[in-house]
Amino acid sequence: MVQTQVDSGLVSKIDSWRAQLDAHTCDIVAWHFDPATGCPFWLSYAEKLDWDPHREIQSFDDLRKFEPFQDEWLRGGPVRRWVPKAFTNDPVFVFETGGSTGVPKSRINVNDFRTDYELFSQTLSDTDFPRHADWLMLGPSGPRRLRLAVEHLCQHRGGICFCVDMDPRWVVRLIKSGRMDLMHEYKDHVINQALTLLRAHDNIQCLFATPKLLEALCDRVSLVKMGIKGVFCGGTQLTRQFHRFAREELLEEKIAFCPTYGNTLMGLACHKPFDPADDHCVIYHPPCPRAMIEVVKPDEIDTLADYGEVGRVRLTTLTKEFFMPGFLERDEALRLPPCEKYPWDGVGDVRPFSGFATPVVEGVY
């Protein structure tokens, strides 16, 4: 049974983190609305406001004074309006979201992806994801952050990362047009490349794979026999049953399984360490204070759902490179209480938001 009550023993820890989050929020707002450091988008936005973010944003909750962040603001150019003045002379990456709903959203990046994954690296055990082990990254690259991020994670831990690309936009197109044979042929093509690499490089001990590709890979080979010790899995929805199936069968209860929830806009949410009491609910906690995930009532977006209740996911990103207050994600989730390791809200059973009239093609990779 998933815990849905706040542990009273955590109150002081929660309060301490909340204070850090509030202070961090003030710093980030000050940075983005300062002409010396901020980006053209927010500086121009502030000019149209009849209130002063510097003065009126004194806590994380004050961010509700902003209208919800519109995803349309990230679709199309000019992308440079998002580059903070402080980073004008730095090399800038641009990463895109999946592109399953028209023009993809773009987010600029300088170092955030490296920082996010270095922080994530601290949550990995050296036994399950050994230092100096090589990795295989089996998932989308192209305009996405994922490939560079996983490669950086691997390098940060002293390894070398082998990569096999999978283009999810092509997969979506094949599915939408009903060409399932081609879709499976493409998947086989991806898996064959992965198998070739795994067979040729003995030091590959860690794997990133999307859920579908992990299943497809494990249909062909035992990862235990291939010497894999840890699997980092994400990119699409992970159901409870998939979670159990992956741990018990695909990975034969011998390989560490590390599910994550992340995207280009927010960064990377880590999972709460596996606890049988959670009934295989995959529970994620955001990288606070760099990003927060809130679960809000779908019809009342400024009200948090109760713990244990399903609501719509709202993301807030608070880094010096990117400020995104109150973005309503295309997902819904259970709101779950803080835990010892992550004394701030978590989310469980993340899945596509059921309130949309037209279902989005999801989970293709």
Partner 1 sequence: MLHIPILRQGVPYKSVESVELVHHATGKPMAEVSQANSGMIVRDVGRMPDDVLESFTVRELFEMCRKAANLFMTASLPIGDQQQSFKDYVNQLSAGTGMPITYCRNNAGKIHRVMDDIEVVVGGLTRGFDVGILDKGFGRHNGGTLSYFRDGRIFGAVLPSNSPGVHSLWIPAIVLKAPIVLKPGREEPWTPYRIIQSLMAAGVPKEAFGFYPTDHAGAGELLRVTDRSMMFGDTSTTRPYENNRNVEIHGPGFSKILLDDDASENWEPFVDLMVASIETNGGRSCINASAIWTPKNGRRIADAVAKQLAKRNALPAVDPNATLAAFANPLVADRISEVIDHGLREVDAIDLTEQFRGSPRLVKKGRIAYLLPTVVWCPDREHPLANREFLFPYASVVECPTDQMPHAIGKSLIVSAITSDESFQKSLMACSNIDRLNFGPIPTYKISWDQPHEGNLFEHLYRQRAFQNEPSA
Which of 202, 263, 254 lies closest to 231 in space, CA to CA? 254
Question: Under the criterion CB under 8 A, does residue 266 sit at the interface with partner 1?
Answer: no
Interaction between residue 45 and partner 1 (CB under 8 A): no
Binding mask 270-289 for partner 1 (x = CB under 8 A): ---------xx---------
Residue 253 binds partner 1, judged by CB under 8 A? no
Which parts of 150-179 interact with partner 1 (CB under 8 A)? 178
Q: What is the C-alpha separation between 73 and 120, in angstroms, rounded? A: 28
CB 246 to partner 1: min, Å: 8
Q: Which of 168, 267 has the CB closer to partner 1?
A: 168
Question: Which residue stretch of 57-65, 106-114, 215-223, 226-234 sits at the interface with partner 1 (rule: CB under 8 A)?
Answer: 215-223
Q: At what angle do helices 146-156 and 112-121 cross, to 10 degrees?
A: 50
136 with 153: CB under 8 angstroms? no
* Binding range to partner 1, per CB under 8 A, among 77-85, 135-143, 186-194, 244-252: 244-252
Choosing from 62, 215, 274, 328, the residue that interacts with partner 1 (CB under 8 A) is: 215
Classified as helix, coil or strand, 53 is helix
DSSP conformation class of 363: -
DSSP string for 231-279: EEE-SS---HHHHHHIIIIISTTTSEEEE-EEETTTEEEEEPPP-GGGT
Beta carbon of residue 362, minimum distance to partner 1 (angstroms, whole number): 10
Q: How far is CA 180 from CA 27, 170, 177, 213, 364, in A?
A: 50, 12, 8, 16, 11
242 binds partner 1 (CB under 8 A): yes
User: Least distance (Å) from partner 1 to the CB of residue 252?
Assistant: 12
The residue (of 183 and 204) whose beta carbon lies closer to partner 1 is: 183
Rule CB under 8 A: say whether 310 interacts with partner 1. no
Helices (H), 57-179: 112-121, 146-156, 168-176
Residues 334, 349: Cα–Cα separation, whole Å: 6
Residue nearer to partner 1 on the CB measure, 112 or 331: 331
Give the binding site for partner 1 (CB under 8 A).
178, 180, 184, 211-212, 215, 218-219, 239-245, 249-250, 279-280, 363
